[in-house]
Amino acid sequence: MKEIKSFWPMQEVFLDPTACIDNEIPENITLNLKAAVNFKIDGKELKVITEIFASLTKDNQQYGNLRFVNISIYDTGKRNISKNRIKKVKEEKIKELLSFLPIYLIKAQLFVEKVEVEEENPPQKLK
């Protein structure tokens, strides 16, 4: 399976503005990630939408939210696509997000100490 195209059309970082003004955002926060995957098989193309949501927390206090969406298109050739392969795409996109996410967080003066990834529902096929 070969990736034809991949892009991130939605990239949002929301912070609690009052915590920012009062300098209450701690340095070592936790990033709690959840991801959901939808896919569609269109002939020999597999289209995968990966939505990644996250909350920024420390000591049961929430300081912000993130939402990133990736759309990837793959050439499947003649192979059948299993849900395990779709799950691997989700894991790859989470790793990709974590590779560039520090740029967003540093600009917001956020320093993540720990990343926790929660299990989400299995991939859902779009009609």
pLDDT tens digits along 33-64: 999 999 998 888 899 999 999 998 888 888 88
pLDDT, residue 15, reads 81
Q: What is the pLDDT of residue 120?
A: 67
Architecture category of domain 2-125 in CATH? Roll (3.10)
Amino acid at 43: G
Domain regions of the chain by residue span: 2-125
Query: Average pLDDT, whole number, for the chain?
Result: 85
Rounded to an integer, what distance in angstroms lies between the CA atom of residue 111 and that of residue 71? 27
Gap between the Cα atoms of 108 and 14, Å rounded? 9
Tokens encoding 19: 């915590």
Q: What is the mean pLDDT of residues 6-20?
A: 84
For residue 15, CA distances in Å to 20, 35, 71 come to 8, 20, 25
Q: How far apart are CA 60 and CA 57, in angstroms?
A: 6
In this prediction the pTM is 0.82
Position 83, amino acid: K
Residue linked to tokens 């920012």: 20
Q: Where are the alpha helices (DSSP H) in 43-121?
A: 83-107
